[in-house]
Structure 1
Amino acid sequence: MKPVVSAFNAWTCIVISAFAIVILSAIGSMFANNHHSMMGSTEDPKDGKKVAGAVFGAVIVYAIFLLFCASQAFLHKRQQRQGEIALR
């Protein structure tokens, strides 16, 4: 099987997805627990659980991106070990 994206794009996607998962998980957990920094203002949402659900939905999307990009990076590593010549 051949990779769909370049190795640079795959590794960039891995890094961005990992950071997004960590940051969005922290934000989602603050909304889920009705933390005062997220729910303290009059302009903030009333139901933190619904917002947390949406944020955790984004975490799932980034996890899928992470799996896809990790598989692409794995394919590049496997292709490189087989001694194929890459034209750049």
Structure 2
Amino acid sequence: MKPVVSALNAWSCVVVSVAAIIILSIIGGLFNANHHSMVGSTKDPADGKAVAGSVFAAVIVYAVFLVFCGFQAFLHVRQSKKGAIELR
């Protein structure tokens, strides 16, 4: 199978996806626990559990991106070990 995206794009997507999963998981956990820093003001949402559900849905989307881009990066690594010449 041939990669669909370039190696640079694949590895960049892996890094961004991992960072987003970590950051959004922390934010979702804070909303899920109704932490005062997230729901303590009058302008903040009242139902932290509903917001946490939306944030965790975004985590799932980034996990799908991570799997796809990780597979693309794996294909690039496997292709480069075969000694194939890559034109840029």
Q: Could you say which residue in structure 2 is the equivalent of 1:39?
A: 39
Report the Cα offset of residue 87 of structure 1: 1.0
Residue 19 in structure 1 maps to residue 34 in structure 2: no
Query: How large is the Cα RMSD of the aligned pairs?
Result: 0.4
TM-score (norm 1): 0.99
3-state SS of 1:84 partner: coil
Q: Could you say which residue in structure 2 is the equivalent of 1:73?
A: 73
Tell me the distance in 2 between the aligned counterparts of 1:45 and 1:12: 33
TM-score (norm 2): 0.99
Q: Which AA in structure 2 matches 1:54?
A: S
Structure 1: 5+ residue runs without aligned partners?
Answer: none
Residue 28 in structure 1 maps to residue 28 in structure 2: yes
Identity %: 68
Q: Could you say which residue in structure 1 is the equivalent of 2:60?
A: 60
Structure 2: 5+ residue runs without aligned partners?
Answer: none
Q: Deviations over 1:11-58 (max 9, x none)?
A: 000000000000000000000000000010001111100000000000
